[in-house]
Each structure stands twice: as structure tokens, then as C-alpha cells.
Chain A
């Protein structure tokens, strides 16, 4: 697996120096993507998803921003040690990025053919005519109808979906190894979202690229992602294969995110929302940054920052927990009530900070959760589903 490791971000820290103080946008982010894999990065606005992407691409605005620590290994090479020009040469041929708002990501004064062809002229030294021919091909690849007639059109003459597809074509032009898509479908309407996502996934599979999909749309993620990294306050709080994360979230925040998806089969019932707001990054709370909003908060959460615990699958078959769950069911207590008392209902022998298995640092690709009570969270999910 690690031979295949395309990108590995280790303990990345980024801060912005503003008039109000130092904004700690990233506080030790670690995640990895393999070739051909899709990693979805989830999180609320301001959780640091885009900043991580910009740091990887090397397009962070550096006067206010500063990389305070960590490393970004791309194909075994630490990007943060490279010079400006070397990093520029990586952008385009080896990694590329798709932006959220396709409507404003294309230069309005240049024709789309010119902009697509620019990739070949800059990075491959292609002639104007050759570049235009390649631009037509690319437009056909991303299913723009009548591409040949439309190469010389300007961005405002295309629909939003088409513009996003042109943006995708531009990012894929040189067949990079890594694509970062920063909320590629948020600015599009729902019918077009699926088309664009499908196209992106198809092309990604075809070229065996690593894809980092930044989004807050949980619906998009389920279909296309292999793994999910959930971010909160500039930190990864949970990292898991997509199915496991949906089935058994091991962090209360992930649980809250999943619960807040509106569901058709529960029409009429009130929509769930995680109470409170994301923390101000100027003043991140002590301990677990999620504790002011966490339904299962305990004293230790207020003082001690939870490290990333490796989540082992055995826990889910822990006999004690199952017995506990069975006992609760047998007692006939109503499920909502036991949920409300949450962690206190869990047997005290599952004390979080004890035991050697939780102190070891998980490998970057491993399933992990940054919650002191990840076991209880998992158990709780199991009790719910059983």
C-alpha cells in the first residue's frame, strides 16, 4: 500500500497572521492518498479543507499565510523543501486543481480554446495550432457538444455545467497524478452536479489518478469516495473507508454530520443540526475543539486534546459492549433515552485513556478517530442499529 502512496500530508500546520492575531487554520493535519484512490475531505466551512489543498498545491497566499510545520510528501518528495520554480513545474503536469466556482475560474477575456491550449503551450511547448487541436480533443473528452465549433467561444457563452467540465478538462489536460477538486459541484444545480461528479470519477478511474475531493456534500461523497477524512477546526477528527464511516462513525462530530443529512423516509420530522457554531480559529477551545458542541462531552474533553486513535475493527465485536447493548435492549429502555444519557450509560470499564492499544499513533492510511470516547461512540452506533 505504501508503495502506491501518492501523497502524504504529515502534521501540517498553517497559520495566518492577521490584525486580530494569529489564526491557526491547520493544527496538524495528516492524510494520505494512493494512486487511483479518491479521498473525500469533509467538514464545515472554515475547518481547513481548502487551506490544506492550497498548501499542497503551493498556492497559499504567503504574506498572510505561513506554513508553521509538517511535511507534504508527493511521490516521496517533500514539497515544502522545493523552490518556487520547482513547485510551479509540478503544478499542471503532476498535480492540478479544480475550483469551486467554475463561473469565475475561467478568464473572461480569453476564449476557452486559448485557455485549454495554454496548458500545452506552457508545459509542453506546443505550437498554437497544435494546442488548439488538443483543446478540441479535451473538450470532446469532457463531453462538450460541438466542441470543434465552440473552441473559440468565450466562457460566458457556456452554461455553468459546461464551464465546470471545461475546468475539469483543463486540470486533466496533462494527465496529472493528483487532482484536488475543491467543492467542484457546489456552484452547480443539482441535475448537473451528478453529471459532473460522474465525469470526474470516470476520468479519474481511467487515468488512475489520486483524487482529493473537498466537499461538504455528504451525498456526493458516498458514491465516489474510497476513504473519507473528516476535518474540524484545522484537524482531522476521523479518517475511515467510506462504508465504515457511514455505517459506524467513530467520532461524535461525524455522527452529527451524518445525522444532519435530510432523509426522505423521515419526512415531517424535524431536521437534525449540530448545535452551536464552528470555533473561532483565533481562539480554539482547550482540549477537544469539538467539546462545546459535543453531545457526549466529559470533563477530560475540556482539558485534554485527543490524539488520533487507531480504530481497530475488533472493538465492534467486543463482547462486553455487546452484552451491554443486549442488556440495555433486554431491559426495554427506550432508545432515545439511552442516547440522551450517552456516554454515562456506557459501562465504566471502557475507560478511554487506559490500555496500550489507544496510545499508539495510527499510520496515515489507517482508520482513526480523534475522540477520547471513540469506542463508546462506536458502541452507541451498534446499539442503535441492532
Chain B
């Protein structure tokens, strides 16, 4: 233990030497934070590995669908309408004579884009509202929480149908916006609870006692300790939002042709007559949708197990 040679300015005296020493000895990184601990657990969890690989695959093909599907999803031959699987067309043809395999691959893009964008929007709105309500408490909490309750009371599907049938825009953005505008209350509630719990920790009081301002307290000391349940909820919600997009498209108010999406294809294939004659045109996009939703929900479960120390 080095005793200070000059007690009046001991910190100044050792400063330069120590700075040098630190920069010359890079830390090997043996320390394990919560996130590295969680990663350690996740790598060993088969459910996580399977769902992560599946999601990775879906994301890659939604960005570069031509990697595994060389045809044009909008190139259709009416003459082959409802034909079964044929060489080069493993999934057969739909009503319009388009290749079901190609459309299923291209459909991932819209579905995942809607899911990811809606989840980001929901997480952003929910985290801001819930974080502010939990952190400031009192009047702001009452105001924001009651607003959350109002939105919570609107059924997601019903609200989305009403809004989407009123506006005439098409494409994925109206769907994303509607889901983001109606889906955030759940995230807000979870964030609020997590922030209130984190706020009572001694280290938040300690940081305050050492002069940390509100924004630093909230962003550096509270949010990192409150984010785990939000991540878990958001991952699970991502799956449900993809299903929601399909539901809305099926009902004819979400995405519309010519946009290619699983929901649109399921909607087009859902005529009872066609299903009896050519079940493949419903089964393939529906299976892809189920697999995708399942992958995200499994991922959410695995992440929750890894991030929640109480379940260990």
C-alpha cells in the first residue's frame, strides 16, 4: 500500500504515472457483467440457439430474398393457377398462378419489417412514458399512468381495424404506426414498475448523494437496471405483432396486394373451396408465419430465463 508522499495533493502527484500504466496494460476482460453472464447462459440454451438461428435465417432472407428464391414473386402464369408442386416449383402455384415458394420467401420481408418497426416504436413510446412516470412519480405518474390506462382499454385489433379502415394509405407504415400507437401501454406499465424498483436501490440514492443529475440517474443508473423485463416483453411482442400484421392483412385492412406478405397470401388462400382443392397455398405461408412467431416467442422466453436472476 503506497503512502502518499505529499498529503496535500496526493491525487495530483500520482496522476500521470497511473494514467500511463493504465493505458499500457489493457484489461483482459475477465470481468463478467450481467449481460456477459446472460450471454454465457444463452449460448448453452438449445431453445435460444434454435430460435436465434431461425430468426437469423428469416432476417437474412427478408433482406436478400433472392439468395434462396430466384424467381420474381409478381411473375404469375394464370394458366398454372392452383397447380400442385412441380419441378422447380416445390410449393406449387396460387390462384393467380404465382409461385408459392417465391411468395413465401418474399413475404418474410414485410412481416418482419412490420414486426421489428412496430416493436421499436412500441418500445420507444412505452419506455419513455413508463420511465418518466416511474422516475418522477407523483403528479406525472398519475397523469401518464391514467393515459396509459386509456390506451390499454382500446382492444388492439379493433382499434387497428378502425384506424386502418379510415385512412386510405397503403404499405407497411400505416400498419406500423397503428400498432405502435396502440401497443405501447403494456411496455409502459412494465417499464414503470421496473424503474420504480430500480429507483429505490441504494446505488441510485448514492449516485444522487454524489451529485448525479436527473438525466444521468435515469439513463445511466436506473434504465440499465430496469431494461431486462422490457427486452423480454419486446421480444415476445415482436412475435405477436407479426401475427397481428397477418391478422390485419387477412381482414383486408393491413397490407394489401401487390405488397407480398404472409398475411396477404393467407387472406387470398382462405376461400374454403380453394383450400379443399389446393391446401398448399394456405399451408405454406401459414406455416412460415407460425414458425416465425414461434421463433420470436421462444427467443423471448430464453432471454427472460437468462436475464432474470430469480429464475436461476
Contact = CB atoms under 8 A, between A and B. Distances in A.
A130 interface: yes
A108 B216 CA distance: 16
A137 B13 CA distance: 10
Interface stretch (B26-34, B103-111, B258-266, B291-299): B26-34
Contacts of A271: none
A12 interface: no
B10 A141 contact: yes
Contacts of B205: 59, 99, 105
Contacts of B211: 88-93, 119, 122-123
A132 B22 contact: yes
Interface in B1-32: 1-2, 4, 7, 10-11, 14-15, 18-19, 21-23, 25, 27, 29, 31-32
Interface residues of A, number: 50
Contacts of A105: 202-203, 205-206
A129 interface: yes
Nearest to A172: B11
Contact of A152 (B27, B137, B203, B207): B27
B81 interface: no
Interface string A63-94: 10000000000000000000001001111110
Interface string B147-181: 00000000000000000000000000000000000
B33 A140 contact: no
B272 interface: no
Task: Give the interface centre of A91, A100, A111 by most chain B CB atoms within 10 Å.
Answer: A91
Given A136-B22, A157-B31, A104 B15 contact: no
A153 B22 CA distance: 14
A91 B209 contact: yes
Given A129-B23, A154-B33, A107 B210 contact: no
B87 interface: no
A143 B1 contact: yes
A133 B209 CA distance: 23
B25 A148 contact: yes
A101 B200 CA distance: 13
Interface string A90-119: 111100110111001111111100000011
A206 B7 contact: yes
A108 B27 contact: no
A6 interface: no
Given A63-B137, A122-B216, A140-B2, A151 B209 contact: no
Interface string B64-91: 0000000000000000000000000000
Nearest to B222: A107
B31 to A, nearest CB: 5
B146 interface: no
B135 to A, nearest CB: 12
Contacts of B19: 129-130, 133
Q: How large is the interface on B (under 10, 10 to 19, 20 to 34, 35 or more residues)?
A: 35 or more
A14 interface: no
A134 interface: yes
B15 A133 contact: yes
Contacts of B2: 140
Chain A interface SS verdict (over half): helix
A355 to B, nearest CB: 44
B225 A151 contact: no
Nearest to A147: B18
Contact of B209 (A96, A138, A153): A96
A167 interface: yes
Contacts of B221: 107, 110
Contacts of A123: 211
A157 B27 CA distance: 15
Contact of B213 (A59, A88, A140): A88
Nearest to A114: B220
A92 B14 CA distance: 21
A308 interface: no
A51 interface: no
Contacts of A206: 4, 7, 10
A149 interface: yes
A376 B166 CA distance: 88
Contact of A122 (B23, B31, B212): B212
Contacts of B212: 88, 118, 122
A132 B20 CA distance: 11
B208 interface: yes
B277 interface: no
A83 to B, nearest CB: 13
B210 A91 contact: yes
B257 interface: no
A137 B208 contact: no
A171 interface: yes
B201 interface: yes
Contact of B207 (A107, A140, A149, A154): A107
B71 to A, nearest CB: 49
Given A91-B208, A154-B31, A157-B31, A137 B202 contact: no
A170 interface: yes
B203 to A, nearest CB: 4
Contacts of A233: none
Given A63-B137, A152-B27, A133 B206 contact: no
A109 B202 contact: no
B138 interface: yes
Contacts of A92: 210-211
Contacts of A130: 19
24 contacts: A59-B205, A85-B213, A92-B210, A92-B211, A104-B201, A104-B202, A106-B206, A107-B207, A109-B35, A111-B31, A122-B212, A122-B213, A130-B19, A133-B22, A136-B21, A137-B14, A140-B1, A141-B4, A152-B29, A152-B31, A157-B31, A167-B206, A175-B11, A206-B7
Given A59-B209, A148-B21, 9 more contacts: A105-B206, A108-B225, A110-B220, A110-B224, A118-B220, A123-B211, A130-B19, A134-B18, A154-B32
Interface of A: 57, 59, 63, 85, 88-93, 96-97, 99-101, 104-111, 118-119, 122-123, 129-130, 132-134, 136-138, 140-141, 143, 148-149, 151-154, 157, 167, 170-171, 175, 206
Instruction: List the 4 closest A-B pairs by CB distance, nearest first.
Output: A92-B211, A133-B19, A91-B211, A97-B209
